[in-house]
Structure 1
Amino acid sequence: MLYQRSSALFDEAQKYIPGGVNSPVRAFKSVGGVPVFMKSAKGAYLTDADDRNYVDYINSWGPAILGHTHPVVLEAIQKQAEHGFSYGTPTELETEIAKLIVDNVPNIDQIRMVSSGTEACMSAIRLARGFTGRDKIIKFDGCYHGHSDSFLIKAGSGAATFGNPNSPGVTKGTAQDTLIATYNDIENVADIFRHNQGEIAAVIVEPVAGNMGCVLPENNFLQNLKKVCQDNGALLIFDEVMTGFRLAFGGAQETFGVDADIVTFGKVIGGGMPVGAFAARQEIMDYLAPNGPVYQAGTLSGNPLAMRAGLTTLELIKSDKDFYNKINKTTETLDFEIGKILNEKGLKHRINRKGSMMSIFFETNKVSNFQEAYDSVYTCIFNNFFQQMLANGIYLPPSGYETWFISAAIQDAEIDKTLEAVRRFEF
């Protein structure tokens, strides 16, 4: 049995942890089978509890852009740990990483550190509401911004209809303030604004969607979204928890040439530690406590171990002038070569890619919004693909709605191993 130890560990975990996991996608409910328990990671590889190695294409869902346990980052964390794990006081480190981010990301003057992407997005919409004096927000069907109540909303029946809770525990009152739009459909967004004039505080969007698979903005969608927000006095929030420092050092704002009003970060800025952040220009951040009336706080915000890991990671990326060219080339090679193999097999598919993010959709030629992603994932071909790749030592996101994250540790040997596994795929 390939996953004998993992199976035993999962049985034990289910006795004490709901569903046996601390984040639902890890349970393999989407793809079937027993979740694989990992015990270590290094470079491009994960090692499971049964001592099997996997080329890793989730990289902790994005943070491990350098690969796992990069020696320079590891040494920096070890040295920092000798000075203590957490103080609950200000540190010089917090200012160092804040300055690096502010100096390199467009259109932000200040940044507030938090402990997760969920916390960052939750705080960003609170700040937007406080700044504008409005209550409603627009989010996009298929975009995920964490598990805060305001984001766990499904679409209503039309532009004038409020969203509805899609999780017990989310009140109808909360859902009434969240309006759901279709990604890449600017007319739909404009129509929602027309039905809710003067009530919408902000639009929050993943500039490259990563939670319905990798879905790219089309037809100047982000540029038009910025204009619609400006015309209606609403703020544009870029959720760059995934794209921040992954698409470019200046993130999606730099990549697409669009200035967001508030930007959220996570993943890469923590170097694998639990870190999130939100940032904006001065006039918006001045509304945040202790200077302003919008309250936000966190005991572990700016944790010194996390700040050291994040700062070292960002410094390593910035010091390599060819970093993004190399990692993007790796992703481009995977895209092209996997596509060629699937074409030879006669398997209809679509590979979406931006920078070092990519996804494979089966039985489709186009995925530009959640419904198109759903139609592809619903075919269940991905589940079969996932299991066969796993058995051949390739660890993919265990859901067709998730994005592959490529790390700088992926080299020719890992690409060859991946392509060989794709060649073995039988559908």
Structure 2
Amino acid sequence: MIYKRSSALFVEAQTVIPGGVNSPVRAFKSVGGDPIFVKEAKGAYLYDEDGRTLIDYINSWGPMILGHAYQPVVDAVVSKAQKGTSFGMPTEIETDIARLAIEMVPGIDKIRFVNSGTEACMSAIRLARGFTNREKIIKFSGCYHGHSDSFLIQAGSGAVTFGTPNSPGVTEGTAKDTLLADYNNLDQIEALFNANPNEIAAIIVEPVAGNMGCIPPKNGFLEGLRSLCDQHNTLLIFDEVMTGFRLAKGGVQELKNVKADIVTFGKVIGGGLPVGAFAARDEIMNHLAPLGPVYQAGTLSGNPLAMAAGLAMLTEINTDKDLFKRLEEKTAYLHKGIELALNRHGVVHTINRVGSMISVHFAEEEVVDFKTAALGDNDTFKKFFHGLLAEGIYIAPSAYETWFITDALTYEDLDTTINAVQKVASTL
């Protein structure tokens, strides 16, 4: 299908923006064709520049948990913008949202706001190294923690989609301090500790992976990481940029009852505006400047627009007692419908789901890590993606991304989606 206005805008964008996009996965390199340019959004729907309405399953990669242009968030931002957009000085609202976040998330005493998930994870690693006086970190193949140099070693998501999982520009000196393991593999972690005694500052992990498709932790995996970190005086960092405030009020720490030493946030905490945060207990956070020697700063950190949006969003999440139950039920309903549709037409697949995160892998075996995720049939995914797009359903333009369910979706929307999958499945 030809999207004339979007295609024309993409041609124009490429003359002034590298590749025509400001984040590589948007360029449709993995699925082919030209990206869709969105004009506006409301609730569960996107309205593109060609006048089409699309049911949205990326939701700005997660933060629109209550839907696009959610009125309390919009009202908070508009009201705050009328009083100034940035001061580079402390404001009371920063304390208000910090207090609420600490109340909602277990095991944290202080939180610092930054401007993106990348910045949050980068700062968390620096803090862990400063606190432990160690240099090495462990990350997992396929987990994406932003585009900081330390993380672009076997990164998932956009890095894999774009074809450069080990980015030029990352020095050998940086790479040597990043140790790799397979997700859900505790034996490899134990071996890395044995090979690098008293050298590992932290393990950083997506406690539910979302950047190689949705991949849940196996039973005992997170508990095993916690135990190994305790044994080796290493910090455990949960990257909850995707999962924080989405899978539960307290994120995966609450969901799985496993405590991290440092937690990073983004997405939902800003209500859709650029924001990130990292948090820990006092003992760790007090190492940050101006209290301690670990430096981290940002002129726009805690800016009033992001704080107003985030406070409105977290307040809604904190007071809506049935939110996560509704999201779980809607996602389970979608899971069942997609599974029946694909099975009816003999399409080989496996579906992973945790809470309001779900992904369809066109692979025969269980998808538990990056290696098994990479076995998925990308040609089938391309057909699936474009088939759904033609039916008015927008999913991530990459086989290595999770879908995000929003509470704004109705069961009629879900049935429309399932019927679209049924139609597309007949062509695969």
TM-score normalized by the length of structure 2 = 0.96
Q: What residue in structure 2 maps to residue 98 of structure 1?
A: 98
Q: What residue in structure 2 maps to residue 395 of structure 1?
A: 394
Please say if residues 62 and 268 of structure 1, whose CA atoms lie closer than 8 Å, have aligned partners that are also in contact.
yes
Instruction: Quote the offset at 1:256 in angstroms.
Output: 0.5
**Secondary structure of 2:389 counterpart:** helix
Please say if residues 104 and 318 of structure 2, whose CA atoms lie closer than 8 Å, have aligned partners that are also in contact.
no
Render the CA deviation track for 1:178-224: whole Å, top value 9, x for unaligned.
00011000001000110000000000000000000000000310000
1:405 to 2:407 alignment: no
Q: Which amino acid aligns with 2:53?
A: N
1:341 to 2:341 alignment: yes
- In the alignment, the residues of structure 1 paired with residue 251 and residue 407 of structure 2 have an alpha-carbon distance, to the nearest angstrom, of 17
Please say if residues 85 and 305 of structure 1, whose CA atoms lie closer than 8 Å, have aligned partners that are also in contact.
yes
- In the alignment, the residues of structure 1 paired with residue 198 and residue 320 of structure 2 have an alpha-carbon distance, to the nearest angstrom, of 46
Instruction: Quote the offset at 1:379 in angstroms.
Output: 3.9
Q: What residue in structure 2 maps to residue 278 of structure 1?
A: 278
- In the alignment, the residues of structure 2 paired with residue 396 and residue 251 of structure 1 have an alpha-carbon distance, to the nearest angstrom, of 23
Instruction: Quote the offset at 1:245 in angstroms.
Output: 0.3
- In the alignment, the residues of structure 2 paired with residue 93 and residue 185 of structure 1 have an alpha-carbon distance, to the nearest angstrom, of 42
Q: What residue in structure 1 maps to residue 55 of structure 2?
A: 55
**Secondary structure of 1:68 counterpart:** coil
Q: What residue in structure 2 maps to residue 161 of structure 1?
A: none
**Secondary structure of 1:60 counterpart:** helix
Q: What residue in structure 2 maps to residue 288 of structure 1?
A: 288
**Secondary structure of 2:339 counterpart:** helix
- In the alignment, the residues of structure 2 paired with residue 423 and residue 154 of structure 1 have an alpha-carbon distance, to the nearest angstrom, of 35
Residue pairs, 1:348-387, within 5 angstroms: 348-376=348-376, 378-387=377-386
Please say if residues 365 and 372 of structure 2, whose CA atoms lie closer than 8 Å, have aligned partners that are also in contact.
no
Instruction: Quote the offset at 1:365 in angstroms.
Output: 3.1
- In the alignment, the residues of structure 2 paired with residue 281 and residue 74 of structure 1 have an alpha-carbon distance, to the nearest angstrom, of 32
Render the CA deviation track for 1:214-235: whole Å, top value 9, x for unaligned.
0000031000010001101100
- In the alignment, the residues of structure 1 paired with residue 409 and residue 327 of structure 2 have an alpha-carbon distance, to the nearest angstrom, of 8
Displaced runs of 4 or more, over 6 A: none
- In the alignment, the residues of structure 2 paired with residue 320 and residue 235 of structure 1 have an alpha-carbon distance, to the nearest angstrom, of 33
Q: Which amino acid aligns with 2:327?
A: I
Instruction: Quote the offset at 1:363 in angstroms.
Output: 3.0
Residue pairs, 1:142-153, within 5 angstroms: 142-153=142-153
**Secondary structure of 2:8 counterpart:** helix
- In the alignment, the residues of structure 2 paired with residue 168 and residue 216 of structure 1 have an alpha-carbon distance, to the nearest angstrom, of 30
1:127 to 2:130 alignment: no
- In the alignment, the residues of structure 2 paired with residue 165 and residue 8 of structure 1 have an alpha-carbon distance, to the nearest angstrom, of 30
1:309 to 2:309 alignment: yes
Please say if residues 7 and 34 of structure 2, whose CA atoms lie closer than 8 Å, have aligned partners that are also in contact.
yes
**Secondary structure of 2:358 counterpart:** strand
Please say if residues 347 and 363 of structure 1, whose CA atoms lie closer than 8 Å, have aligned partners that are also in contact.
no
- In the alignment, the residues of structure 1 paired with residue 422 and residue 104 of structure 2 have an alpha-carbon distance, to the nearest angstrom, of 42
- In the alignment, the residues of structure 1 paired with residue 359 and residue 150 of structure 2 have an alpha-carbon distance, to the nearest angstrom, of 27
**Secondary structure of 1:263 counterpart:** strand
**Cα distance change of structure 1 residues 314 and 94 upon mapping to structure 2, 3 Å threshold:** same
- In the alignment, the residues of structure 2 paired with residue 172 and residue 394 of structure 1 have an alpha-carbon distance, to the nearest angstrom, of 42
Q: What residue in structure 2 maps to residue 67 of structure 1?
A: 67
**Identity within the alignment, %:** 61
Q: Which amino acid aligns with 2:253?
A: Q
Please say if residues 165 and 171 of structure 1, whose CA atoms lie closer than 8 Å, have aligned partners that are also in contact.
no
**Secondary structure of 1:253 counterpart:** helix
Please say if residues 349 and 360 of structure 1, whose CA atoms lie closer than 8 Å, have aligned partners that are also in contact.
yes
Q: What residue in structure 2 maps to residue 240 of structure 1?
A: 240
Q: What residue in structure 1 maps to residue 267 of structure 2?
A: 267
Q: What residue in structure 2 maps to residue 194 of structure 1?
A: 194
Render the CA deviation track for 1:86-134: whole Å, top value 9, x for unaligned.
1111000000000001111011000000000000000000000000000
Please say if residues 214 and 403 of structure 1, whose CA atoms lie closer than 8 Å, have aligned partners that are also in contact.
yes
Instruction: Quote the offset at 1:2 in angstroms.
Output: 3.7
- In the alignment, the residues of structure 2 paired with residue 131 and residue 298 of structure 1 have an alpha-carbon distance, to the nearest angstrom, of 21
Q: What residue in structure 2 maps to residue 46 of structure 1?
A: 46
Please say if residues 378 and 399 of structure 2, whose CA atoms lie closer than 8 Å, have aligned partners that are also in contact.
no
Q: Which amino acid aligns with 2:346?
A: G
Q: What residue in structure 1 maps to residue 81 of structure 2?
A: 81
Instruction: Quote the offset at 1:76 in angstroms.
Output: 1.3
Please say if residues 165 and 175 of structure 1, whose CA atoms lie closer than 8 Å, have aligned partners that are also in contact.
no
Instruction: Quote the offset at 1:20 in angstroms.
Output: 0.3
Q: What residue in structure 2 maps to residue 158 of structure 1?
A: none
Q: Which amino acid aligns with 1:88?
A: G
Q: Which runs of 5+ in 1 are unaligned?
A: 156-163
Please say if residues 265 and 276 of structure 2, whose CA atoms lie closer than 8 Å, have aligned partners that are also in contact.
yes
Render the CA deviation track for 1:356-405: whole Å, top value 9, x for unaligned.
000000132300000000011x4421111000000110000000000000
**Secondary structure of 2:47 counterpart:** strand
Q: Which amino acid aligns with 2:263?
A: V
Please say if residues 223 and 258 of structure 1, whose CA atoms lie closer than 8 Å, have aligned partners that are also in contact.
yes
- The count of aligned residue pairs is 418
Q: Which amino acid aligns with 1:254?
A: E
Instruction: Quote the offset at 1:165 in angstroms.
Output: 8.2
- In the alignment, the residues of structure 2 paired with residue 113 and residue 315 of structure 1 have an alpha-carbon distance, to the nearest angstrom, of 17
TM-score normalized by the length of structure 1 = 0.97
**Secondary structure of 1:112 counterpart:** strand
Instruction: Quote the offset at 1:153 in angstroms.
Output: 1.1
- In the alignment, the residues of structure 2 paired with residue 86 and residue 379 of structure 1 have an alpha-carbon distance, to the nearest angstrom, of 44
